[in-house]
Amino acid sequence: DAKTTQPNSMESNEEEPVHLPCNHSTISGTDYIHWYRQLPSQGPEYVIHGLTSNVNNRMASLAIAEDRKSSTLILHRATLRDAAVYYCILRDYFNFGNEKLTFGTGTRLTIIP
């Protein structure tokens, strides 16, 4: 499986934008980029996913580099509730049978009030 690399931790001030980077230099053409987050004492929560184009939803935006070797999850206005571990995961949707999510250690995001 293609691997992702994320910083271990990041800090951001409340009400400011947050940019969480992810490197995936060995990404294949059929790998989708997924982001999940895990709040303390909870299971992971789906955030967003994309293939080539930038994506927006109510939670966040996903910016994907033109060569697809890196991506950035953008939280437009961080709140204390966004303090969590954020996981960047690649999933190949053209490879039936590859259904599992392969989590790394993620980025622990701390929000400073």
Partner 1 sequence: DTGVSQDPRHKITKRGQNVTFRCDPISEHNRLYWYRQTLGQGPEFLTYFQNEAQLEKSRLLSDRFSAERPKGSFSTLEIQRTEQGDSAMYLCASSLEPGQGYSQPQHFGDGTRLSIL
List of residues contacting partner 1 (CB under 8 A): 32, 34, 41-46, 49, 85, 87, 91, 93-94, 96-97, 99-106
Residues in the chain: 113
Min CB(85)–partner 1 separation in Å: 8
Min CB(47)–partner 1 separation in Å: 9
DSSP assignment of 85-108 equals: EEEEEEEETTSTT---------EE
Specify the residue, 13 or 56, whose C-beta has the smaller distance to partner 1: 56
Whether 33 and 88 have beta carbons less than 8 Å apart is answered as: yes
Q: Of the candidates 27, 18, 40, which has an alpha carbon nearest to the alpha carbon of residue 89?
A: 27
Specify the residue, 17 or 97, whose C-beta has the smaller distance to partner 1: 97
H/E run at residue 63: strand 61-64
Q: What six digits make up the tokens of 99?
A: 């259904």
Specify the residue, 40 or 113, whose C-beta has the smaller distance to partner 1: 40
Strand partners for 10: 109
Q: What six digits make up the tokens of 20?
A: 């969480």
Min CB(98)–partner 1 separation in Å: 9
Min CB(101)–partner 1 separation in Å: 6
Specify the residue, 13 or 95, whose C-beta has the smaller distance to partner 1: 95
